Amino acid sequence: MASYHLSVKTVQRSAGRSATAAVAYRAAERIACEREGRVHDYRAKQGVEASFIVAPEDAPTWVHDRQALWNAAEARETRSNSVTAREWELALPHELDAGGRRLLVESFARELVSRYGVAADVAIHAPHREGDQRNWHAHVLTTTRALTREGLADKTRALDAKQTGGAEIAHMRERWAEMQNRALERARVAERVDHRSLAVQRDEARSLGHEAQADNLDRAPEVKLGSVVSAIERREQRAAEREEREYVPLTERGAQVHEARATRSLFAELARVRDALREKVRQRAEAARETYQHVREEGANRVRAGLAALRAAAERQGRGHGLAQDAGPGREAAHYAQEGPQHGLGAGLPAHDREQPGPERSLGAEAIYERLEALRERARPGVEQERGEPALERGIDKAREELARLRAQDGSRAAQSHETIRERLRGVLDRAKPVAAEREELGQEHAQERQAHREHEAEREEHCLKPRDHGISYGL
pLDDT of residue 413: 58
According to the per-residue pLDDT averaged within each range, which of 197-206, 239-248, 351-360, 402-411 is highest? 239-248
User: How far from the centroid of its chain's Cα atoms is residue 182's Cα?
Assistant: 24
Of 35-39, 40-44, 53-57, 284-288, which gets the smallest average pLDDT?
Answer: 284-288
How does pLDDT run across 382-424, given as a tens digit for each residue? 444 444 445 445 555 555 665 566 666 656 655 565 566 666 6
Distance CA 298, CA 340 (A): 11
Identify which has the larger pLDDT, 234 or 103. 103
For the chain, give every domain's residue range. Answer: 6-195
Would you say the C-alpha torsion 362, 314, 327, 293 has a positive or negative sign?
positive
Would you say the C-alpha torsion 48, 142, 54, 110 has a positive or negative sign?
positive
pLDDT of residue 465: 54
Distance CA 236, CA 130 (A): 12
Of 77-86, 117-126, 314-323, which gets the smallest average pLDDT?
Answer: 314-323
User: Do residues 30 and 42 touch, judged by C-beta distance below 8 A?
Assistant: yes
The whole-model pTM stands at: 0.55
pLDDT of residue 138: 97
C-alpha gyration radius of the chain: 44
Residue 8 has pLDDT above 70, yes or no: yes
For 252, phi and psi rounded to 5 degrees?
Answer: -65, -45
192: alpha, beta or left, given left = phi > 0 and alpha = psi -120 to 50? beta
Residue 444 has pLDDT above 70, yes or no: yes
Query: May I ask the CATH class of domain 6-195?
Result: alpha beta
pLDDT of residue 327: 40
Type of residue numbered 348:
G
Query: Would you place residue 280 in the very low, low, confident or very high pLDDT band (cuts 50, 70, 90)?
Result: confident
pLDDT of residue 411: 60
Distance CA 373, CA 207 (A): 47
Identify which has the larger pLDDT, 275 or 4. 4
User: How far from the centroid of its chain's Cα atoms is residue 50's Cα?
Assistant: 40
User: Do residues 40 and 31 touch, judged by C-beta distance below 8 A?
Assistant: yes
Distance CA 23, CA 80 (A): 20
Q: In the chain, what is the straight-line distance between the N-terminal and C-terminal CA atoms, in Å?
A: 96
Query: Would you place residue 170 in the very low, low, confident or very high pLDDT band (cuts 50, 70, 90)?
Result: very high
pLDDT of residue 382: 43
pLDDT of residue 289: 87
What does the mean pLDDT of the chain come to? 77
How does pLDDT run across 421-439, given as a tens digit for each residue? 666 656 656 666 665 566 6
Distance CA 163, CA 248 (A): 47
Query: Would you place residue 475 in the very low, low, confident or very high pLDDT band (cuts 50, 70, 90)?
Result: very low
